[in-house]
Amino acid sequence: MVVLLSRDGRSVRQVLTNSSGNFELSWTSGEYRLRADRIGHASTFSDWFSLEDGETVSIALSSEVEAISLGTIDVEADRRCRVRPQEGLAVTQVWDEARKALEAAAWTQERGVYRYEMMGITRSLDRDGRRVLDEDRSFNQGFSRAPYISLPADSLAEHGFVIEDDQGLIFYAPDAAVLLSDPFLDTHCFGLEQGEDEAEGLIGLRFEPSRGRRVADIEGTLWIDPATTLLRWIEFRYTNLPIPQELQSGLVGGRVDFSALPNGTWIVSDWRLQMPRSGVRLNDLTGQRYAYLEGYAVQGGQVLRIHGDDGTVDLNAQEGSRITGAVFDTLRAGGLEGARVYVVNTGMEAVTSFDGRFTLGGLDPGVYDVTFGHPYFDALGYVPQPFPVEVGQDTVAQVTFLAPPRRRIIDELCQDDPRPDSRGAAPGQGVHDANAILTGQVTDEAGVPVEGAAVRVLWREWSVDFREDQPSSDDVVNEGRLGSVALTGPTGRYRVCWVPADVPLEVTVLERIEDLDPGRQTAFRNLIELGSARRQTFTINGTRQFATLDLELNLARTGTVQGRVTGLEEGAAAEVVLLELDRRVPLEADGSFVFEAVPTGDLTLEVVAGERGVRRDIEVRPGETVQVELHVPGGDENRHSGGSPLPDSPPWQDQ
């Protein structure tokens, strides 16, 4: 990096040399000198020279060959935090090497040298900040001019790195330009620290806010490889946050990774921000609500590729941490091919190869819940218990899974559902137990899985009331129906536990309608009658006590029913009812009414007004609005169209 310096020592212009070492700078007239910065080597300065308007000055610089080593720096002797440390100190030497990388990164971003293909990452962590609860990844179809943009340094210095608005808190991370800026250097002190754990062997340039800072700020460390003097990453924590004490945590912060490219440019290759995720609880003693730390929300991004203006691809993303392993079949005879290994609540998955092996790459450090699936698992509706796998920074974690035998899967499917105590019998048959399991998948007409569909299974049972001291002919045989309802999951699969085998089962699938309560048997039954259901009879073989039944659902279409009721006295109380659905709405002051999201089919509309009423048969079609005008007759008009009153009701008239 060649930097043009003014007499007061300010950097006024800079540029990277090309592959031949040549450079060109344009600036206003004045007296200047050049500084050539090369990471890992001492900076080289030219003599002072004058630049006149329209003049071209040719200057040759010889960069120092001897490499700079940071390995001999005594970190313990220079831990004191200093604002703008003076020349000759160890902290100044380390800062000079970090500065070179930051200036190259700032220059690269300012000039818009590259276009970036980015992957966005959104993650939720637990209270310990280790276990990954869920994760979403998004891929930009276009190009970005920078991995992320920070606020101007003077704005951050004045208002802080966390700003509150009407929507909540906005957290900002520093970019290279901010770290190099005078406002940042004037409001932060610097010292040295020795690396540990992931930073083992690295030297850290620690920074923290100066005393008296009242806005939300950051403290952290720039980690540098002492052997190569390359800047590896910066990690930071937020301080003086405008949030309740219960949400304060040393885990609220971020990390920015830097990468050097062969042509001398530097980029931000990876970044993360970790922010508190709050919940609200009720104090049992005071009844007051209070906030608590529920976990952490992580926002970040990773550069997948960068494209130069000439169309070249200058970087491909690194793999990061990985989870590798294998899935073995039941008898351990070999690997299980075609198994889907995935991280729970994320989009990360891999399919095992012919030998059962897999790799999940591009992971951040943390604890991931990993499990696997297979087509024969899916048919049973079985998901193995997830296994927590801890992954370190840029490491490989190994895990091995064993696919359980089918008998064990069936035994575990309904272990959490209590078996019913009731036993039934059919005339001429023996007593049967409800100990079978029915599973399957519900799809629509196009074969797409339907989530949230209801699968109802009914069967007949009989019981006998024996009359003591009476002939057997006086015994009473009672017939009843028992059943169970299950809802399909995201993949359209359902499981109904503890149904009888060797007994005909009536299986019905229907789309859930939100404004109907499945617990109300009349509404549930009438909805089935509307035709949105697919009903069939199925019997489970008693020797197997397990069966799979896939179902197809024609998704119910809905329409709207609206209209007006006339013939009522002003202020008269009345309501309109859809009889088959048992849905009711009151009349508006002008006599109007409306039913929305009405299932399609033939329905009966009824108006009840005291001792008078009227009914109308209507047909609801998908996406259409049925307009109805109903007149409530009075006196002699209260007659059925056939000439007789409707039975067991007030005077009615069908219209």
> pLDDT at position 636, please?
42
> Which DSSP state fits 197?
G
pLDDT at 648 over 50: no
**pLDDT tier for residue 234 given thresholds of 50, 70 and 90:** very high
For residue 75, pLDDT beyond 80: no
Residue 312 has pLDDT above 80, yes or no: no
pLDDT, tens digit (0-9, with 9 covering 90-100), for 366-411: 899 999 988 888 777 788 889 999 998 878 899 999 888 877 887 7
Most confident option among 14-23, 144-153, 292-301, 517-526 = 292-301
Query: In terms of DSSP bridges, do strands 436-443 and 551-552 run parallel, antiparallel, or are they unpaired?
Result: parallel
Q: What is the pLDDT of residue 66?
A: 65
Whole-prediction pTM: 0.61
Select from 299, 327, 320, 297 the least CA-distant residue to 387. Answer: 327
pLDDT for the residue numbered 642: 31
Q: What is the pLDDT of residues 524-567, one digit of tens each?
A: 443 444 444 567 899 998 887 788 898 887 765 678 899 999 88
Q: What is the mean pLDDT of residues 163-184?
A: 90
Give me the pLDDT at residue 517, please.
43
CB contact at 8 A, 431 and 542: no
Query: Are 363 and 384 in contact, with CB atoms under 8 Å apart?
Result: no
Mean pLDDT of 500-514: 79
**Residue 344 buriedness (CB in 10 A; 0-12 / 13-18 / 19+):** middle
pLDDT score at 299: 93
Q: Residue 204 — pLDDT band, cuts 50, 70, 90?
A: very high
**112-134 residue pLDDT tens:** 778 888 888 899 999 999 899 99
Of the listed ranges 151-160, 441-450, 582-591, the least confidently predicted one is 441-450
Q: Is 511 helix (H, G, I), strand (E, B) or coil?
A: coil
Report whether 437 contacts 423 (CB < 8 A).
no
Considering 70-74, 209-213, 411-415, the range whose residues carry the highest mean pLDDT is 209-213
The pLDDT value given to residue 253: 94
Task: Tell me the C-alpha distance between 152 and 183, whole Å.
Answer: 10
* pLDDT for position 291: 86
Which of 183-192, 390-399, 543-552, 569-578: highest mean pLDDT?
183-192
Average pLDDT, the chain: 81
Supply the pLDDT for residue 314. Answer: 60
Query: Does residue 652 surpass a pLDDT of 60?
Result: no
Which class for 426: exposed (0-12), middle (13-18), buried (19 or more C-beta within 10 A)? middle
pLDDT for residue 635 is more than 70? no
Give me the domains of the chain, ranges plus CATH numbers.
1-67 (no CATH), 105-316 (no CATH), 321-408 (2.60.40.1120), 423-552 (2.60.40.10), 558-637 (2.60.40.1120)
DSSP state at residue 261: -
